[in-house]
A = this chain, B = another copy of it.
Amino acid sequence: MIRGLLSVLLVLVAVAVSSSLAKPEKNIAKRGKRIPQTLSRGWGDQLIWAQTYEEALYWARAQNKPLMVIFHLEDCPHSASMKKVFAEDKDIQKVADEDFIILNLVYETTDKHLSPDGQYVPRIIFVDPSMTVRADITGHYSNRMYAYEPSDIKLLLSNMQKAKKLLKTEL
């Protein structure tokens, strides 16, 4: 029970720390017809997305594939520009589809390993199917090591290739 409460507290702290939050758009389309929310959220409608971190970890283990977790926010312009490039890049989409378990989240999880140098967006973290966060796979920026900009898309692809080399190749 206490552990449960601690987790909840961690969640609330994590949420409070996030600078800006995507809010449910209850009022915007209250009277009109709403567009159903997709799991892809625009990062690739043709890809198969995990819904939760628990589900993603399960599939990473079961299929022995690395997991790519994209943290973003709907109302963040940096997230939006990265998303556009990600969704339109055929190589990225193909590799993500074939070789990765993928998850995009607008809320932080309770697992602090997913924020090695803080919680910010957009942030892309790779997790090996051995359940190890690949903190060694980083972008260009020393102060936000897991941030990517649209001009970093080739680096992201090369990092995906790096993540495909699993930490434990033997069964």
Interface, chain A (partner B; CB < 8 A):
1, 4-5, 7-8, 11-12, 14-15, 24-26, 33-34, 36-40, 45-46, 48-49, 51-55, 57-59, 61, 105-113, 131
Contacts and interface: CB of A to CB of B under 8 A. Distances in A.
Contact of A25 (B7, B48, B57): B48
* Best-buried of A39, A106, A113 by chain B (most CB within 10 Å): A39
A11 B59 contact: no
A37 B26 contact: no
14 contacts: A1-B113, A4-B111, A4-B113, A5-B131, A8-B57, A11-B54, A12-B58, A15-B54, A25-B48, A36-B45, A38-B38, A51-B107, A55-B106, A55-B107
Given A33-B46, A51-B51, A55-B107, 10 more contacts: A1-B113, A5-B131, A24-B48, A34-B45, A37-B39, A51-B105, A51-B107, A52-B52, A54-B110, A55-B106
* 3 closest Cβ pairs, A-B complex: A36-B45, A55-B107, A37-B39
Nearest to A45: B36
Nearest to A10: B54
Contact of A109 (B15, B52, B105, B108): B52
A38 B38 CA distance: 4
A109 B4 CA distance: 12
Contact of A37 (B12, B25, B40): B40
Given A57-B11, A107-B54, A109-B54, A40 B46 contact: no
A8 B56 CA distance: 11
A7 B7 CA distance: 11
